[in-house]
Amino acid sequence: MTTLVACSHGTRFDEGRAVVRDLVDAIRAQLPGVRVEQAFVDVEEPTVADVVASVAEDGPAVVVPLLLSTGFHTDVDVADAVAPYPHVVRTRALGPHDLLALVLESRLDEAPAVDAGRRPGDHVVLAAAGSTNPAAVADVEGVADRLRRLLPCPVTVAYAAGAEPRIPAAVAQARADGAHRVIAASYVLAPGYFANLVAGAGADVVSRPLGADPRVAAVAVARYRDALAQPPAS
């Protein structure tokens, strides 16, 4: 059996750590009989390099980044961890994916406001963590395109760091463009530093992070299964 290494960013926030643990448990529930190990690229331990080195002794493994977009952590930290082991592979990040857009829609439906994103005059800002990697921007735009197909209101993209526009500027621009209500759709996985930046960006309504939703787990499982279906590297 091929081990799945579920590799998240890591956080100092206890609530965020609990959410990620719950997400890893949800992945285990969808893959009965598969060994699922948790790893991190920053802040927490064990590191992805240490976990990969350990599981590689027992056989093949797939590292699934529990990260929403391509970036330094996927292309450097995770890539470097798997590089010494031909029988260990990595998948792409979780996003973009149709299921993530559906989770975002659900979070808007749960938001502390009536019909968030569905009233005339609403404007949704898809608020992502951000990266200087152009591929990360493309990934977020891919999710935004999917969210636009689900909502009747304008959807624009903004970032907490790494790329422009920043979230407060995007919120202000939406208001300047005539929005009656600006909703920040938190495109982050769990409570923590970036979720707090989204919450403090000045939107009228802020949805909660994606969290340990079974559909997020299903995306991770799909990435794992897609990796298993790929032919071995020659």
The verdict on 7 and 65 lying in the same domain is yes
49 in any annotated domain: yes
What pLDDT digit, counting tens, does each position of 12-60 carry? 999 999 999 999 999 999 999 999 999 999 999 999 999 999 999 999 9
Q: What are 118-121's contacts with CB under 8 Å, separation 24+?
A: 118/151, 118/152, 118/153, 119/153, 119/180, 119/181, 120/180, 121/178, 121/179, 121/180, 121/181
Give the separation between CA 153 and CA 45, rounded to whole angstroms. Answer: 41
CA distances from 25 to 30, 94, 107, 201 (A): 9, 17, 21, 32
Residues spanned by the domain of 71: 3-95+213-229
Helices (H), the chain: 14-30, 48-56, 72, 79-82, 98-110, 134-148, 167-176, 193-199, 214-229
127 in any annotated domain: yes
pLDDT score, position 46: 97
The verdict on 129 and 192 lying in the same domain is yes
Segment 1-7 shows an average pLDDT of: 96
- Mean residue pLDDT of the chain comes to 96
The verdict on 29 and 114 lying in the same domain is no
Q: What is the DSSP letter of 166?
A: B
pLDDT at 11 over 90: yes
The verdict on 181 and 86 lying in the same domain is no
The verdict on 13 and 54 lying in the same domain is yes
The verdict on 40 and 55 lying in the same domain is yes
- The CATH number of whichever domain residue 8 belongs to comes to 3.40.50.1400
The verdict on 86 and 44 lying in the same domain is yes
Q: 63-92 burial string, b = 16+ CB within 10 Å, else e?
A: bbbbbbbbbbbbbebbeebbeeeeebbbbb
234 in any annotated domain: no
Segment 3-8 shows an average pLDDT of: 98
Structure token digits, residue 230: 């790929």
The verdict on 82 and 117 lying in the same domain is no
The verdict on 55 and 152 lying in the same domain is no
Segment 221-227 shows an average pLDDT of: 98
Structure token digits, residue 172: 């202000």
What pLDDT digit, counting tens, does each position of 125-136 carry? 999 999 999 999
Percent of the chain predicted with pLDDT > 90: 94
More confident: 181 or 232: 181
Structure token digits, residue 62: 């797939």
71 in any annotated domain: yes
The verdict on 91 and 171 lying in the same domain is no
pTM of the complete model:
0.95
The verdict on 120 and 78 lying in the same domain is no
| DSSP symbols for 103-132 | HHHHHHHHSSSTTTTTSTTEEEEEEE---S
The verdict on 113 and 77 lying in the same domain is no
Residue 39, helix vs strand vs coil: strand
Do 68 and 126 touch, CB atoms closer than 8 A?
Answer: no
What pLDDT digit, counting tens, does each position of 202-220 carry? 999 999 999 999 999 999 9
Identity of the amino acid at 88 = V
Q: How many domains does the chain have?
A: 2
User: Among 5, 8, 106, 105, which residue's Cα sits nearest to residue 61?
Assistant: 5
What pLDDT digit, counting tens, does each position of 99-126 carry? 999 999 999 999 989 999 999 999 999 9
pLDDT at 155 over 90: yes
Do 216 and 189 touch, CB atoms closer than 8 A?
Answer: yes
183 in any annotated domain: yes
